[in-house]
Structure 1
Amino acid sequence: MGIIIPLLLITFCCIIIWRAGDGFMAASEYIGRNLSDGVRGATINAIASSMPEVFTSLFFLFILKDAEGFSGGVGTTAGSAIFNGMVIPASAVLTVIAMKMTKRVEVSRKVMLRDGIALIIAELIFLILISGATLYWYHGLLLMLVYVAYIVFMFATMKRSQRKEQLEGRVVEEMVFVENDEPQGPFLKGLLTFDLERIFIGNNRISGRRAWSLLVFSTISIALVCYFLVLACEWVGADTYSIAGLGEFNGLGIPVMFVALILASAASSFPDTIFSIKDAKRGQYDDAISNALGSNIFDICFALGFPLLLFTLIYGPLQIPPEMVALSSELRFLLWLLTVLIVIIFVSGTYFGRGKSFLLLGLYALFVLYIVGRGAGNELAQSIADWLVSIVRFFRIG
């Protein structure tokens, strides 16, 4: 019972994040309608779908107010990055194949290399920067600046011809949005199903005002539910926890970072999954994958950098115990290694089919087994962890 309650709460959080993410997607697509596919996927869509990671990391840090809270944020963002890089592209590709829309997906190696190399560099900076026993406000600021640099690079590499094409097509794009006459149904049904697009837009023409209203309300909804997501993860990791009126229950008694790596990261990645699957159904395969890679850059740079900046400005430097430093270094280095492997899989060949999809899902299953083994104190998992930490210490980056 002690584990069932938080798992039910996490499931509820997944549903709300999913529904709010749909509304966020509709609004962000309208706002970013004049960007090229690859740029929109790696920026507007990536930011929109990564809002749960921002709020989850924020609440972990401000609820626990210590190094364990920060480790929860690291676990959420790193776990989400691994989920995004492995599960989401595989799910998107297998979905369109199962629907017989295509037998394999052709993706742009240029886009994959661009976003993949940018992600590898960002994670290397993350590995080197967030190390040591004390973290200051400028660590968070520097992480955020890495993402700003990535955005500037994305817009700078957007070809001038593409910009002209997008501007010329603006009227056509707006017509596509405003002439969507698909009936949305009654307002009451929207409330009962938490369909924010139905509530805010309904059968009306979407406009800038409605899009921004939908965006703001979706953000607030995601923020509120992420608070309960963090509470549920804290309950799972605790030795014991209590709920007013229900009594005291037993948790698993494991570090919250391990809980966040699997449960919080998967729950917060729901919008990313929906975004990419919908993009793949539309034939926008570059967006479907670049959204996942762009989300990873946003997760490790902004979703962790912003809470760290805000917390240290309010409460001062964050002290990290030696064992937490080693655990964080192990995870960050593992994230970097897996990202390099993911990028190699992406760029090896022009097509993305069942083989690559099942390979990525198999790798994620091994990652989950490793994390479960670490939480349970498995000897093999611990020996792998010791090896990862020894490499980090050898290069003096952790």
Structure 2
Amino acid sequence: MDIILSLVLVVISTGVIAKACDGFETAADYLGRNLSEGVKGASINAIGSSMPELFATFVFLFLFTDTSGFAGGIGTTAGSAVFNTMIIPAASIIAALKMFKLTSIPVSKKVILRDGLALIAIEFVLIVTIGATLKWWHGLMLMLLYLGYVGYMFASMEKQTGDDAEEEEEDEEDDNAPSSNRLLAFLKLDLEAAVIGSNDIKTANAWVLLSIATSFIAVACYFLVYGCELLGHAVGIEGYFVAVVIAAAASSVPDTILSIKDAKKGNYDDAVSNALGSNIFDICFALGLPLFLFTLIYGDISMPVEMVAHVSELRILLLALTVAAFFIFYFGAGTGKKKAYALLSLYVLFTLYIVARAYDMTWITPVADFLHVIQTSLQ
């Protein structure tokens, strides 16, 4: 019974996140209309679509207020980062190739260098600075790294031409939808219709739509975390492992939807930069902010030896897979099906490793030992 209930909670919360993402995308598109391609995907889209990871980490930490909370939080953010790096670009590539009947799509080397190298550097810092004891300055350091990344990104942004930045005014009547229709739209989670209706989208109502969509995502994340913990107990594994795969994938639904839609519009740089930018936000802010606030309130977090081992393995895997994805994207002419399938294969291997570790399968032990050797050499 617990398995059924947990799966129902995960499915429903994932569906709510996906629906709320539609309204978020409308607001993000409007608010980021003057940003150059690649910057919008790595900033507004990435931050907004990473709200599930941020709220999930808050719930894991402050709901359980112990080491399992932090482990679940880092499992969600790191697992989501792997999902973003492998699944989202692969799905975006396949969707664009199918829609436009292409053999490959162009992705800016500049975007790959900027976001890819920044992500690799941040993951390396995460490995060498965070150990068995977590302190407030660890969270602050991660947030400062993100602010540095955003500052550099906007400083180097290529301004759009005046024609591109201008808004097209439409002569539409300010016809407010009846309140009954708006209530029905809320019940259907059609947030754009509920908030904006038939009115023109403006800065004010775009921010309202963004805030409401984010609130729905936050509530859904609470039930997502609860469902993952319940599922872990039901199948006899630690909630950490469920978070790495299930919670991570569910919380990445907004990133996936936004990137695929960008790819279908031909905005390939935004599709890739959203995935990579989301990873940077996940590691620096979705993990850093809850960690910073939690340790200020409750003090340092000390993880048991076994949990330290699992988290260390995950961080090394994350770095290795990110480096592999960087080389896949950067080298070679264009991005086609072969690269997409290579990314999908890497994610399958990652998932198999997590499942094997969750059930302590003996054949995976040598791989885990090798990852610990790497971790020890880097710290």
For 1:214-363, what aligned pairs fall within 5 Å after superposition? 214-238=209-233, 251-363=234-346
Describe the superposition over 1:235-279 as per-residue Cα deviations: whole angstroms up to 9, x where unpaired.
1122xxxxxxxxxxxx12212211101000000000000000110
What is the CA–CA distance in structure 2 between the aligned matches of 1:360 and 1:175, rounded to whole Å?
Answer: 42
Q: Matched residue of 1:35: which SS?
A: coil
Q: Which amino acid aligns with 1:380?
A: W
Partner Cα distance (2:37, 2:99) in 1:
23
CA distance in 2, matches of 1:94, 1:190: 32
1:365 correspondence with 2:348 = yes
1: CA distance, partners of 2:355 / 2:22: 31
Aligned partner of 1:220: which letter? S
Structure 1: 5+ residue stretches without partners = 239-250
Give the Cα–Cα distance (whole angstroms) in 2 for the partners of residues 196 and 43 of structure 1: 22
What is the deviation of 1:350? 3.2
Q: Is the 8 A contact 1:73 1:304 kept in 2?
A: yes
1:170 aligned partner: 165
Matched-pair identity in %:
51
> After alignment, is 345-354 or 145-154 more displaced?
345-354
Aligned-pair CA distance for 1:168: 5.2
Residue type of the partner of 1:107? V
Partner of 2:84: 84
Cα gap change, 1:311/1:207 in structure 2, threshold over 3 Å: closer, same or farther? same
| Deviating more after overlay: 90-99 vs 261-270 | 90-99
Q: CA deviation at 1:97?
A: 2.0
CA distance in structure 1 between the aligned counterparts of 2:284 and 2:256, rounded to whole angstroms: 20
Q: Check the 8 A contact 2:172/2:199 in 1, yes or no.
A: no
Tell me the CA shift for residue 208 of structure 1: 1.1
Contact kept in structure 2, 1:126 and 1:301, CA below 8 Å: no
**Structure 1 residues 179, 297: closer, same or farther in 2, change over 3 A?**
farther
| Amino acid paired to 2:147 | V
Aligned-pair distance for 1:374?
0.8
Cα distance change, pair 259–180 in 1 and its aligned pair in 2 (3 A): farther
Match of 1:245 in 2: none
Give the conservation status (yes or no) of the 8 Å contact 1:109–1:350: no
What SS does the corresponding residue of 2:317 show, helix, strand or coil?
helix
CA distance in 1 between counterparts of 2:172 and 2:130 reads: 48
Instruction: Calculate the TM-score normalised by the size of structure 1.
Output: 0.90
Give the secondary-structure state (helix, strand or coil) at the position aligned to 2:102: coil
Which string of whole-angstrom CA distances, capped at 9 and with x for unpartnered residues, describes residues 307-358 of structure 1? 0011011111111112221211111011001100010001112311111111
1:66 corresponds to: 66
Question: Retained in 2: the 8 A contact 1:50–1:298?
Answer: yes
Aligned to 1:390: 373
* Partner residue in 1 for 2:146: 147
* 8 A Cα contact 1:107 1:350, kept in partner: no
Q: Deviations over 1:144-185 (max 9, x none)?
A: 1110000011011113xx25x2x553323x548x8799xx99
Aligned-pair distance for 1:190? Answer: 1.9
Q: Against the structure 1 CA distance between its residues 312 and 99, is the aligned structure 2 distance closer, same or farther, given a 3 Å change threshold?
A: same
* Counterpart contact for 2:237–2:358, Cα < 8 Å: yes
Question: In 2, Cα distance between the equivalents of 1:389 and 1:157?
Answer: 38
Work out whether residues 51 and 217 of structure 2, in 8 Å CA contact, stay in contact via their aligned partners in 1: yes
Change (3 A) 1:301 1:346: same
- Cα deviation for residue 388 of structure 1 reads 0.3
CA–CA distance in structure 2, aligned partners of residues 390 and 179 of structure 1? 64
Amino acid at match of 2:212: F
Q: How much does 1:101 deviate?
A: 4.5
Matches within 5 A, 1:120-199: 120-131=120-131, 133-159=132-158, 162=159, 165=161, 169-172=164-167, 174-175=168-169, 186-187=181-182, 189-199=184-194
**1:191, distance to aligned residue in structure 2 (A):** 2.7
User: Deviations 1:202-255 (Å, cap 9, x if unpaired)?
Assistant: 2110011111111111111111111111111111122xxxxxxxxxxxx12212
Cα distance in 2 for residues equivalent to 1:377 and 1:192: 44
2: CA distance, partners of 1:119 / 1:354: 24
**Which runs of structure 2 are paired with 1:31-110 in the superposition (5 Å)?**
31-110=31-110
Q: Distance in 1 between matches of 2:10 and 2:173?
A: 34
Distance 1:394 1:274 in 2: 39
Instruction: Give the Cα separation in 2 of the matches to 1:48 and 1:273.
Output: 12
Q: In 2, are the aligned partners of 1:92 and 1:288 still within 8 Å (CA)?
A: yes
> What CA distance in whole angstroms lies between the structure 2 residues aligned with 1:65 and 1:50?
22
Q: Please say if residues 127 and 312 of structure 2, whose CA atoms lie closer than 8 Å, have aligned partners that are also in contact.
A: yes
Residue number in structure 2 paired with 1:202: 197
Aligned to 1:30: 30
Q: Measured at CA, do residues 15 and 372 of structure 1 come closer, stay the same or move farther in structure 2, by a change above 3 Å?
A: same
The residue number in structure 1 matching 2:115 is 115
Per-residue CA distance 1:56-115 (angstroms, 9 max, x = gap): 011000111111110001110010000000000110111122234433211111211111
Conserved? CA contact 1:119–1:296, under 8 Å: yes
Following superposition, the deviation at residue 188 of structure 1 comes to 5.2
Judge conservation of contact 2:182–2:197 (CA < 8 Å) in 1: yes
